[in-house]
Amino acid sequence: MDAVVEKIAILDFEASSLSEASWPIEIGLSWLERGEVRTWCSLIRPAPSWAIDDWSPQSASVHGISVSELMDAPSVTEVAEAFFKILGGRRLVSDAPEFETRWLDRLLRTAGRAESPSVEDFDDASFAMFDGYALDLLYETVERRPAPHRAGPDSARLARGWLKAAEHQVTLAMEGRTA
């Protein structure tokens, strides 16, 4: 397995809405470790400072998470601490970096964390790591599975694409070929 791909984690959020005032309700992080996809995810209890009137019934119909489910979820601070512990030194990527950056910043600022890692674009990272048939396998794997619109499964879906591409590159290397 390529060491570079194991130093990256894929981030995904579900949120109260898509507005500028939206806030994160679920976080998912997936990465490759020893040839397997690993995933951590958590619901997020709304912080008192987050406007509950930003809750979108349309968004809720997509992700299927209710406000009542969030009331027993871990606090913003607990989620932020778990996020940094699990992230370790990995770089972050996402298929929607603009949104994920907004929600990550909101989560971390609310938790009193000054540091907010940058979020790179999934496609840019994929094209930097893979080429040829490995890229075809990556996107074919991702496209075969529709996005479930839950943070953990969505990030794992992208990580499975990376796993398929990385396995192909390992096979080529063992056979002494290039992509």
Per-residue pLDDT averaged across 88-117, rounded?
A: 95
CB contact at 8 A, 76 and 45: yes
Report which of residues 179 and 19 the model is more confident about: 19
What are the boundaries of each domain within the chain? Answer: 5-174
pLDDT at residue 9 in the model? 97
Mean pLDDT of the chain: 92
Record the tokens describing residue 47, joined without a space.
Answer: 């912080």
Share of the chain above pLDDT 90, in %: 84
CB contact at 8 A, 116 and 104: yes
| pLDDT tens digit sequence for 29-50 | 999 999 999 999 999 999 999 9
Instruction: Answer whether residue 176 shows pLDDT above 80.
Output: no
> What is the pTM for the complete model shown?
0.92
Which CATH number does the domain 5-174 belong to among 3.30.420.10, 3.90.1280.10, 1.10.3720.10, 3.40.47.10?
3.30.420.10
Per-residue pLDDT averaged across 120-132, rounded?
A: 95
3 state DSSP class of 25? strand
Record the tokens describing residue 155, joined without a space.
Answer: 């990030």
pLDDT at residue 4 in the model? 79
pLDDT at residue 18 in the model? 92
Under DSSP, the state recorded for 172 is H
The Cα 122–Cα 94 span in angstroms is: 5
